[in-house]
Chains A and B, each alone.
Chain A
Amino acid sequence: MSYPVEQNEKFAEYANPERLVSTEWLAAALESGAVADGNLVVVESDEDVLLYETGHIPGAVKIDWHTDLNDEVTRDYINGEAFAALAASKGISRDTTVVIYGDKSNWWAAYALWVFTLFGHEDVRLLDGGRDKWIAEGHKLTTEVPQPAAGEYPVVERNDAPIRAFKEDVLAHFGKPLIDVRSPEEYTGQRTHMPAYPEEGALRGGHIPTAASIPWARAAAGDGTYRNRGELEALYLGEAGLKEGDDVVAYCRIGERSSHTWFALKYLLGFETVRNYDGSWTEWGNAVRVPIAKGTERGTVPA
């Protein structure tokens, strides 16, 4: 059963306010016993694989972006059977309200939410501000790992097409807007990896021609929450030049940071067609004979 949607002024301005919950809302929901009775499942998804173990929101279960959501062999996400087993083991049923939060302004939480959406999980929300805001406000943490009663989750085949772009899709997308959410140094080609993450290199540096550079973190305020609608519009409609009704592809290095931007475009600004190119720069910057633009200019549509 779906849990009631939060109403507040900031969220009401967004296209899909039902996709966010605030820390106050979650604290009140926990207080009311929503997690204990299984109506609400809280999921922590972090970059650091051990962070959950150091303390997490009471009742929250852990889903690791790499070991739980990625296929171990093929560079792809898990299949319907594996997802059903994972969800059920975390106490999630098909109609459960899931709230996801994590470290680094919800960067990995947004990625997990995007994967849940590939499987069409209907009611999945982000905790605005994530783990850091919860802790900064002095809310409770625990190291106690819950043992939820197994959920009932059907095997649902992933439906990638609406929200996931592959390399071929991007090649066919030229002429329509692309958003590059990496750091300016990665965009210009000065470096092929994020500052301090040299291990995920690419053979070429630069960006996909015509892509606008809007580093993902600009969509987040200092406390890790999403910026309000007006600020997001200034960023994506103003600076990036998106227009209402645009078909947009966002990418980064492996698709995690761009999930954060995908969420903002899709649910906060209400773009119908937004796809995350998860192959991102680790594929594009290593692929043979794909066009690349270097420097600060967006570049032109390849002939």
Chain B
Amino acid sequence: MNTQAIPAALAEIIDDFQALTEPERLQLLLEFSQGLPELPDRLKDHPELLEEVVECQSPLFLTIETEKDDAGAPGAIRIYFKAPPEAPTTRGFAGVLHEGLDGLSAAEILAVPDDMPELLGLTRAITPLRMRGMTAMLGRIKRKVAASIRPEF
């Protein structure tokens, strides 16, 4: 895998996970699930603006928004997630992707390798089945980012 393509914030999270034992990694994932920010009110009131990632075992909804820079050109990508508290594993994955990717440029997000979740070292503890939800989440973010930068005709 080309780890060079992993943005700094995400690389740091991966390093944090890698430095831990397996039970500690689960604990860290739990912390990420607790740290996942609430949806802003304007999205809370409009669930139809979020898309469901059906590959996750529990309901997970997400959307992205592109901020404009001072010159009006597309800038940072903002990512928003919604997942219920009774789905801490799903929320934890969302928390990792939020902290690792929120606020980056489209190009930076698109460069993240699709199998990045494998680098967290959770596959054995979480099981491959549960890891697929996270891979699907990343895939959905990348597809939405790619669609957002497609030239409009």
Contact = CB atoms under 8 A, between A and B. Distances in A.
Interface string B70-90: 000000000000000111111
A244 B129 CA distance: 39
B22 to A, nearest CB: 9
Contact of A50 (B29, B127, B129): B29
A196 B54 contact: yes
A201 B55 CA distance: 12
B18 interface: no
A278 interface: no
A70 B127 CA distance: 11
A223 interface: no
Q: How large is the interface on B (under 10, 10 to 19, 20 to 34, 35 or more residues)?
A: 20 to 34
Given A48-B57, A198-B54, 8 more contacts: A48-B89, A48-B90, A49-B125, A51-B86, A51-B88, A67-B125, A196-B59, A198-B55
A67 B129 CA distance: 12
A54 interface: yes
26 contacts: A47-B57, A48-B57, A48-B58, A48-B89, A48-B90, A49-B26, A49-B89, A49-B127, A49-B130, A50-B30, A51-B87, A51-B88, A53-B88, A54-B33, A54-B85, A54-B88, A66-B127, A66-B129, A67-B124, A67-B127, A196-B54, A196-B57, A196-B59, A198-B54, A199-B129, A199-B133
A54 B30 contact: yes
A48 B56 CA distance: 11
Contacts of A67: 124-125, 127
Interface of A: 47-51, 53-54, 66-67, 72, 103, 196-200
Q: By DSSP majority rule, is chain B's interface helix, strand, loop, or mixed?
A: helix
Nearest to B87: A48
Interface centre among A47, A49, A200 (most CB of B within 10 A): A49
Nearest to A199: B132
Contact of B30 (A53, A66, A196, A199): A53
Q: By DSSP majority rule, is chain A's interface helix, strand, loop, or mixed?
A: loop
A112 to B, nearest CB: 15
B25 to A, nearest CB: 11
B111 interface: no
Contacts of B56: 196
Interface centre among A50, A196, A197 (most CB of B within 10 A): A50
A53 B91 CA distance: 13
Contacts of B59: 196
B127 A48 contact: no
Contacts of A48: 57-58, 86-90
A66 B129 CA distance: 10
Contacts of B86: 48, 51, 54, 103
Interface in B93-146: 124-127, 129-130, 132-133
A300 B112 CA distance: 52
B92 A50 contact: yes
B126 A49 contact: yes
Interface centre among B26, B57, B85, B86 (most CB of A within 10 A): B86
